[in-house]
Amino acid sequence: MGKPTGFIEYLREIPVDRPPLERVGDWKEFHLHMEEKKLRNQGARCMDCGIPFCHTGKLISGMAAGCPVHNLIPEWNDLVFRGHWHEALLRLHRTNNFPEFTGRVCPAPCEGSCTLGIISPPVTIKNIECAIIDKGWDEGWVLPTPPTVRTGKKVAVIGSGPAGLAAAAQLNRAGHTVTVFERADRPGGLLMYGIPNMKLDKQEVLLRRVQLLEQEGVKFICNANVGDNVEPQIFRKEFDATVLCTGATQPRDLPIEGRSLKGVHFAMEYLTANTKALLAGNPATSAISAAGKHVVVIGGGDTGTDCVGSSIRQGCASVVQIEILPKTPLERQADNPWPEWPKTLKVDYGQEEAAAKYGADPRVYLTTVKKFVGDENGALKELVTVQIKWEKNDKGQFIPQEQPGTEKTLPAQLVLLAMGFMGPEQALLKELTVETDPRSNIKAEHGKFTTSLKGVFAAGDCRRGQSLVVWAINEGRGAAREADRYLMGSTDLP
């Protein structure tokens, strides 16, 4: 490294976000840019540790440790420190097709495995990554690079989320003619409708990359619902290979009393409706609105946070976020050592905004909902919660036990279920006659990505279950590599 003592000389520093009470008034991205001198100092904190765990991309204790796409983090940190931004961009694109996505929405398992993080706050890897690619776009360095030779092979990709986009980009790079089928009205999958605009701008960031892929030769067909208006047989008749990247879009439900009341929605229904209204030019016309309502979000993950932030921007009267798990500690515990993902308390943008607007963090822990209560018109008006305690059953498994006398009634005209996903939608898989595993995911071994059907591959959440955007990119690249090997007998794709 060019600055061996940088980790001693410079403190960790991240960009200042727009003030919470300012940013909740619009749907623009809330992160501000950092000046170049400070970014170079942050790059200098990368400590030439000898065995960098930041780009290992392993699963430890069931969680990502290091970068799943194996970003060459120490290399581009050093290049940023030296001011060689274009070279840093080339290194970044070697492993990651879409760093502008991961630099915005990835939870940064790389930072959780940063060696410096053992003794000090880790290197600001995610922020440097985002700064490199944003500078690349600003400087005009990110240009379409269509393949010079076409193989004559045709490949279909079903689904245009991060896995589908990565698979399409890599297969097109190998010279195949790639067509992406997307059932929604716009490409992007989870990136388009599952993540709100203030985290990932649709026009200036997402669709800009999609347009670049189109310029490179990738064809997108939207409103193409396989099994509905697209016959499954088309993939065997007209394509030499198919890559399934349909996602894990079957939401976990909460089948309790009052579930059918008007006002109880899955989180993705809500986020999708909101983004569609925003893209149409009038977010106030969203089919599901929190305006003037008491909102309860059930689920404490990133999707729950996105519902909190979106509800505030729509003008909700109040928002509560219910989490069935206990509050995580402020620091790593002995049973959660480095380089594991640190299970520590995180105050995300939504909680920060709720605290600024309503005076307190909206989250309540060790709590579940017992029933929804409606009015005489069948509309939700309130719900009943109860505190729980995690105890072992006779099989040694931890299960939630309700604590008598802890029931509480909360006003609620809008409930958003953000409790995760159960796997891919089964109707499509049955239409395609593809074999599934015991968890209902498409059966395909990681590294090979081959399904039970010849010439058909699977990648992303539909294969591994609900996971991170960066894992989806990893899998899309891997499935593209194996599809290329199948088509050509060998492959040069990484």
272 has a pLDDT exceeding 90? yes
The residue from 372, 404, 419 where one domain ends is: 419
- The domain that holds 199 is classified in CATH as 3.50.50.60
CA distance 9 to 65: 27
Q: DSSP character for 285? A: G
Contact 421, 251 (CB under 8 A): yes
383 Cα distance to chain centroid: 30
Residue 265 shares a structural domain with residue 410: yes
227 pLDDT tier (thresholds 50, 70, 90): confident
Residue 66 shares a structural domain with residue 173: no
146: in domain? no
Residue 294 shares a structural domain with residue 415: yes
CA distance 171 to 155: 8
Contact 178, 213 (CB under 8 A): no
Residue 411 shares a structural domain with residue 452: no
**According to the model, what pLDDT value does residue 315 have?**
97
SS3 231: coil
Calculate mean pLDDT across residues 360-377: 97
Residue 11 shares a structural domain with residue 40: yes
Tokens of 372: 């929804």
CA distance 155 to 271: 31
Tokens of 445: 């071994």
382 has a pLDDT exceeding 90? yes
Tell me which residue range forms the domain holding 109: 6-139
pTM: 0.96
Cα dihedral 472, 126, 189, 30, rounded to 10, equals 160
Residue 199 shares a structural domain with residue 172: yes
71: in domain? yes
161: in domain? yes
147: in domain? no
Bridge partners of residue 220, in order along the sequence: 180
Residue 234 shares a structural domain with residue 282: no
**According to the model, what pLDDT value does residue 427 have?**
87
- The domain that holds 110 is classified in CATH as 1.10.1060.10
**According to the model, what pLDDT value does residue 69 have?**
97
The residue from 396, 419, 442 where one domain ends is: 419
Residue 162 shares a structural domain with residue 121: no
Total domain count, the chain: 3
pLDDT tens for residues 25-40?
999 999 999 999 999 9
329 has a pLDDT exceeding 80? yes
Mean per-residue pLDDT over the chain, rounded = 96
364: in domain? yes
Contact 142, 212 (CB under 8 A): yes
Residue 413 shares a structural domain with residue 450: no
Q: DSSP character for 460? A: T
Q: Exposed e or buried b for every residue in 239-276, given b needs 16+ CB within 10 A?
A: bbbbbbbbbbbebeebeeebeebebbbbbbebbbbbbb
CA distance 236 to 246: 17
Compute the radius of gyration of the chain from its Cα atoms. 23
User: Distance of CA 383 to CAs 105, 326, 403, 414, Å?
Assistant: 32, 21, 17, 10
HSE of 325, CA atoms in CB hemisphere, 13 A: 10
CA distance 45 to 39: 10
149 has a pLDDT exceeding 90? yes
CA distance 301 to 267: 11
Residue 134: which H helix or E strand, with range?
Answer: helix 125-139
Q: Exposed e or buried b for every residue in 120-153, given b needs 16+ CB within 10 A?
A: eebbbbbbbbbbbbbbbbeeeebeeeeeeeebeb
**Beta strand pairing status for 219-221 and 241-244?**
unpaired
**Residue 222 CB-density burial (10 A; 0-12 exposed, 13-18 middle, 19+ buried):** middle
148: in domain? no
pLDDT tens for residues 476-492?
999 999 999 999 999 99
Contact 417, 439 (CB under 8 A): no
Residue 193 shares a structural domain with residue 270: no
2 pLDDT tier (thresholds 50, 70, 90): confident
493: in domain? no
pLDDT tens for residues 410-449?
999 999 999 999 999 998 899 889 999 999 999 999 999 9
Q: Exposed e or buried b for every residue in 315-338, given b needs 16+ CB within 10 A?
A: ebebbbbbbbeeebeeebeeebeb
1 has a pLDDT exceeding 80? no
183 has a pLDDT exceeding 80? yes
Nearest to 178 by CA among 476, 430, 424, 490: 476
366: in domain? yes
451 Cα distance to chain centroid: 24
Percent composition of the chain: helix, strand, coil (DSSP 3-state, to 5): 35, 20, 45
50 pLDDT tier (thresholds 50, 70, 90): confident
Residue 116 shares a structural domain with residue 204: no
Contact 247, 461 (CB under 8 A): yes
The residue from 361, 388, 419 where one domain ends is: 419
Residue 114 shares a structural domain with residue 41: yes
